[in-house]
Amino acid sequence: MSYTGPDFDPPKPRRSRRTPLLVALAALVSGGLLGWAVYAAMGAPGDGGTTAGAPAAPSGSTSASARDDGKKATPSASGPAAASPSPSGSPDAASGPLKGRVVVIDPGHNPGNFEHTAAINRPVDIGTNSKECDTTGTSTNSGYAEARFTLDVAHRLRDLLQQQGATVKLTQDGDRPYGPCVDERARIGNTAHADAVVSIHADGAAAGNRGFHVILPASVHAGAADTRPIVGPSRELGERIAGSFVRVTGSAPSNYIGDGTGLVTRRDLGGLNLSTVPKVFIECGNMRDSKDAALLTSGAWRQKAAQGISEGIVSFLRG
C-alpha cells in the first residue's frame, strides 16, 4: 500500500529585485518543496497489508481438529479483517511467464458458515466415505477467524499470480452465504482444468504446536475418487510450496505433524480425494498458539505467506 502525503505547490517567485544570493536561495527552497511533493505523491512503502476489526461473530466454544477438511470452531470475537478483493491484473500481466496457466485458489471455509450450521453439517460423498459439507474453521484466542485469514491470503496470492500472467479463480470470495461444500470445491478446480489448486487454511491444534505443513493427496481409488494420476504432480507442487514458504516467511515446518518435513499425506479429505488436477492444502500456522497467532494476524506476514505460496506455484508451473 502506498501512502499519499500533503501536496505542496512550489512558491511563485516575486517580481521584486533580488540579489543573486537570494534568487539562488529561493530556487533551492522551491526545488526542495517540489521534490517532497513528488515523493509524497509516489508514496512511502507500507507493511504489505492492514488489519482492522472484523464484524463480530457469536460467541461459542472452539474445539478444533487438525484431522479434518475444516476445523470446527465458532469465531467468538472480532479480529483483523480480510483484505478487500483486488482488481484484475494489469494489461501487461497477460504476457507474463504464466500466460495460459490456470490456478485455482481455495480459501478454506467461509465467514458465513457459522450462521448455516445445518447446511454445512449435511454429509457429502468424498469417495472413500461421507463427510460434512464444510465446517466453520477455527480462530485465534482473540477471535480472528480462520475463514477471514484464508480470504485475505487468497486475495494477496491472486494479485501476485495475476502479475505473472496466470488466470486465477477462487472457489469462493465471501460472496455466498456458506460453503461451498468440499466436493464442490474439488469440482471447481476440475472444471477449470486447473494447472494447480491450493487450498489455504490455518490449524487449530493445542498451544505449543507451531509451524506450517502442506497436505498432499494419498493414492486413493474408491467410489468417485481416483487420485492416482495426481499424486506425483501434487507432491511436487507441495514440495515446492513448502520450500518457498520456509524461505520467504522464515516459518519452520510443523513441530507436531510431518516429522519435521512440513509435508503430510492424507486420504480423508474430500477436497483432495475428488480432485483430478494437482492439488494441495497448506496449513499456514496454528491459530491456537500465541506465537503463531501473532504472525497470522499480521498483514505484513500474510503478504509474506502469499508470496511464499506464489513462488512455489510459479516454480512448479515453470518446471
Pairing state between β 221-222 and 213-217: unpaired
The sign of the CA dihedral 109, 111, 117, 119 is negative
> Residue 283 catalytic?
yes
State the pLDDT at residue 94.
61
State the pLDDT at residue 4.
29
Grid cell of 61 as nine digits: 466454544
Share of the chain above pLDDT 90, in %: 70
Look at residues 270, 306, 319 and name the one whose alpha carbon lies nearest to residue 125. Answer: 270
d(CA 129, CA 44): 53
Q: How confident is the model at residue 23 (pLDDT cuts 50, 70, 90)?
A: very low
Tell me the pLDDT tens digit for each residue of 244-263.
999 999 999 999 999 999 99
Q: How confident is the model at residue 51 (pLDDT cuts 50, 70, 90)?
A: very low
The single residue of 184, 239, 283, 311 carrying the catalytic annotation is: 283
In this structure, of 85-99, 126-140, 286-300, the range with the lowest mean pLDDT score is: 85-99
Q: Count CB atoms within 10 A of the CB of residue 283.
A: 27
d(CA 37, CA 195): 45
State the pLDDT at residue 191.
98
Q: How confident is the model at residue 34 (pLDDT cuts 50, 70, 90)?
A: very low
Q: How confident is the model at residue 79 (pLDDT cuts 50, 70, 90)?
A: very low
d(CA 231, CA 260): 21
Look at residues 289, 197, 198 and name the one whose alpha carbon lies nearest to residue 252. Answer: 289
In this structure, of 34-43, 64-73, 107-116, 282-291, the range with the lowest mean pLDDT score is: 34-43
Grid cell of 135 as nine digits: 465446517
pLDDT (average), residues 19-42:
37
Inter-CA distances, 59 with 143, 145, 309, Å? 9, 12, 32
The full set of domains in the chain, from first to last, is 1-46 (no CATH), 91-318 (3.40.630.40)
The yes-or-no verdict on residue 78 having pLDDT over 90 is no
State the pLDDT at residue 228.
98
